[in-house]
Amino acid sequence: MTDTTVPPLASRVAAPAQVPLPAPGAGLTWRPATADDAAAITALRVRSEEADGLPYRTSEAETAEELAGPWRDLTCDTLLGVDADGTPRAWAQADSAPGDQRVVRAFVEGTVDPAWRGRGIGTALVAWSQARARQLLAASGKELPARIATSVEDSTPEVARVYEAAGFRPIRYYAHMRRPLDVPLPDVPQVEGVRVVPWDPRLDDAVRVAHNDVFADHWGSEPRTPEQWRQARVMFAPEWSFVALDDADRVAGYVVSGRYEQDWPAAGYTSGYTELLGVRREWRGRRLAVALLATVMRAYAADGMQYAELDVDTENPSGAHGLYAALGYDVAHSSTTLTVEL
């Protein structure tokens, strides 16, 4: 349905006909990335994460998965700056979300090698990525509110300042929370009419449909197509994932976990990461979320993990932040989503 409350998408987005490359004065040669660049891009990202003291590390598998999105055109959606030796020193990308139905979005990110900072390269990357994001939004053809978004760790305010200088504004705040597993775990409440079962690949698409339903009223959440759902699975840990089924074998809730072993040395501990947790509306208020979290904590602990981790929107309408705190999760670090609303 066309939204008549906002001007046409094309006029709001004002996409440029061409996306200008950064000026050559920085000493880098600019080109699109290819799938074969995954290892070199990952090395660049890790150098930046180490220099910024971030408690995680990007894996080559994650980068390769990002580059492999079937809806992406790497020739237009990526930018790589290489030095005279061919080593990547700067990287940016813009990505779209094909399933968007309420707000059409484009996501941007990038980084500059620590040894090449202070030369205006980051500013040039943000300008390039915003221009490409505007093209992606215009090409969507969706007459909806539009958004260009990025996420910035709160421990790197200098990065946020570069985006803010380009017109981005903070709009949402996220807490990364963790809970030690060497202290008593919460009991698993019995929820009448529901059983929690181990992950079964035959339930995969039913969980996707349930997830789209559960998060329909959450800020920044849009339906995931089957392609989007399958694409974000490189760190998926089925042994740490569970589904709650009602008496008719319908999905009432779910908890999906990831195993990010590359993060453990940087963080200083091992952990299981709760990627997604959801309970359908008709099952809320019955402690099903507690049952799912308590179950997954036990799975992490049984595998020798030291912490359970997750991220939460601090303004989540379901009150998730309070639930996690009551179960013993504490904030470890935080991030901010910055956007250009169009």
Pick from 139, 167, 195: which residue ends a domain?
A: 167
111-127 pLDDT per residue, tens:
999 999 999 999 999 99
Predicted local confidence at residue 1, as pLDDT:
45
pTM, rounded to two decimals: 0.92
The 10s digit of each residue's pLDDT in 269-302 is 999 999 999 999 999 999 999 999 999 999 999 9
The answer to whether residue 223 is domain-embedded is: yes
Q: Has residue 4 got a pLDDT over 60?
A: no
* Residue 49 in this model has a pLDDT that exceeds 50: yes
Residue 62 lies in a domain: yes
Residues 152 and 190 in one domain: no
Residue 325: closest CA among 174, 177, 160: 177
Please say if the pLDDT value at position 153 is more than 90. yes
CATH of the domain at 144: 3.40.630.30
Tell me the residue range of the domain where 319 lies: 176-334
Q: How far apart are CA 154 and CA 175, in angstroms?
A: 10
Q: What is the mean pLDDT of residues 62-86?
A: 94
Residues 229, 149 within the same domain: no
Q: What is the mean pLDDT of the chain?
A: 93
pLDDT of amino acid 150: 98
pLDDT at residue 22 greater than cutoff 50: yes
Rounded Cα gap, residues 158 and 46, in angstroms: 18
Give me 333's structure tokens: 């670090």
Predicted pLDDT of residue 222: 84
**Do 22 and 160 belong together in one domain?**
yes
Mark whether 140 and 255 lie in a shared domain.
no
Q: Mark whether 59 and 197 lie in a shared domain.
A: no
Closest to 41 in 3D by CA, of 85, 96, 87: 87
Centroid of chain to Cα 75: 22
Residues 61 and 156 in one domain: yes
Considering the chain, what percentage of its residues have pLDDT values greater than 90? 84
Q: Where are the alpha helices (DSSP H) in 235-328?
A: 264-267, 288-302, 320-326
Confidence check: pLDDT of 109 > 50: yes
Query: Is residue 340 included in any domain, yes or no?
Result: no
Please count the structural domains in the chain.
2
Asked if 192 and 328 sit in the same domain, the reply is: yes
Is the pLDDT at 263 greater than 50? The verdict is yes
